[in-house]
């Protein structure tokens, strides 16, 4: 008697997500070098902050966003391994494309971007991080920074040479040690975790965090407002404090 082989069906489910994002030029800049993308149905959220000023930082950030969307454009119900591979590929390929762009456009030498990407799958998430834009998680009314800044000042804080309070107004706080599109080899921070209903993820450029402290961010995120209202309030707080940089904020709430 020949038995039919047993086949196992693995069912993956995307968490139900509610999201909203906005990018504001701020009060001092003449152009917006930030870029972002939201694809809630795919569970994909991406943010980039261009650097280089006249060296076309906005081009670098757009390359990263477009590349990430391209990498995640095909396939559904991805496994953890597949999600990890795609996050890494989004950073690797965008780094390569920015370097190629600079080679073909020498006048853009020095351009690059910081970048944040978070992808949800099967009630879990994977995030990739390079630079000093940030991803936070508000869970049970407690705000936690998931990423660590790749900056000179963060290194000094880690070594106990300067306090976080003094770092906020430091003249070297914008010295970035790692960015997309600067070196041929790019080290990407990869963080994995589980998502729960009620979790609220914040992706933001340093135009927010340079001017609004974490206590104020937690306060706004904890207020019973809609996501668009919370995003607007965070941006307005940054502008009230001077708004000297572009400000980009994405909020993503796990519903179920």
Q: What are phi and psi of 20, to 5 degrees?
A: -160, 145
Question: What is the per-residue burial (b if ≥16 Cβ within 10 Å, else e) of 58-95?
Answer: bbbbbbbbbbbeebbeeeeebeeeebbebbbbbbbbbb
C-beta of residue 215 within 8 angstroms of C-beta of residue 157: no
Identify the pLDDT of residue 2. Answer: 34
3-state secondary structure at position 229: helix
Domain assignment present for 241: yes
Chain position carrying tokens 């209903």? 197
Domain assignment present for 60: yes
Domain assignment present for 7: no
Q: Measured between alpha carbons, how far is 199 from 255 in angstroms, rounded to an integer?
A: 8
Identify the pLDDT of residue 169. Answer: 64
> For the chain, what is the domain count?
1
Domain assignment present for 237: yes
230's enclosing H/E stretch is: helix 227-240
Neighbours of 50 (CB within 10 A): 31
Joined together, the tokens standing for residue 21 give: 């994002």
Segments in the chain below pLDDT 50: 1-12
Query: Which residue range(s) make up the domain with 191?
Result: 20-254
CATH of the domain at 87: 3.60.40.10
pLDDT tens by residue, 184-223: 999 999 999 999 999 999 999 999 999 999 999 999 999 9
Q: What are phi and psi of 96, to 5 degrees?
A: -65, -40
Identify the pLDDT of residue 240. Answer: 97
pLDDT tens by residue, 220-255: 999 999 999 999 999 999 999 999 999 999 999 999
Identify the pLDDT of residue 162. Answer: 79
Identify the pLDDT of residue 159. Answer: 76
Domain assignment present for 142: yes
Domain assignment present for 140: yes
Identify the pLDDT of residue 77. Answer: 75
Q: Measured between alpha carbons, how far is 204 from 175 in angstroms, rounded to an integer?
A: 18
Domain assignment present for 14: no
Domain assignment present for 182: yes
């Amino acid at each position: 008697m020949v038995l039919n082989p047993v086949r196992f069906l693995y069912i993956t489910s995307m968490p139900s997500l509610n999201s909203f994002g906005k990018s504001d030029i701020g009060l001092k800049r003449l152009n917006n070098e930030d870029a972002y993308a939201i694809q809630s149905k795919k569970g994909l959220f991406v943010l980039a902050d261009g650097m280089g000023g006249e060296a076309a930082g906005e081009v670098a950030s757009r390359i990263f966003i477009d590349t990430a969307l391209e990498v995640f454009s095909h396939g559904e119900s991805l496994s953890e391994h597949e999600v990890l591979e795609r996050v890494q590929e989004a950073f690797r390929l965008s780094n390569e494309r920015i370097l190629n762009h600079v080679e073909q456009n020498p006048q853009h030498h020095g351009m690059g971007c910081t970048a944040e990407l978070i992808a949800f799958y099967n009630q879990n998430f994977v995030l990739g991080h390079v630079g000093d834009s940030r991803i936070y998680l508000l869970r049970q009314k407690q705000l936690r920074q998931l990423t660590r800044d790749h900056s000179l000042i963060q290194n000094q804080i880690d070594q106990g040479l300067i306090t976080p309070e003094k770092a906020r107004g430091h003249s070297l706080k914008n010295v970035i040690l790692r960015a997309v599109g600067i070196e041929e080899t790019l080290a990407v921070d990869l963080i994995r975790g589980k998502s729960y209903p009620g979790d609220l993820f914040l992706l933001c450029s340093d135009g927010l965090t340079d001017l609004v402290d974490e206590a104020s961010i937690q306060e706004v995120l904890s207020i019973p407002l809609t996501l668009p209202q919370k995003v607007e309030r965070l941006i307005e707080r940054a502008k009230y404090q001077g708004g000297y940089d572009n400000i980009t904020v994405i909020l993503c709430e796990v519903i179920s």
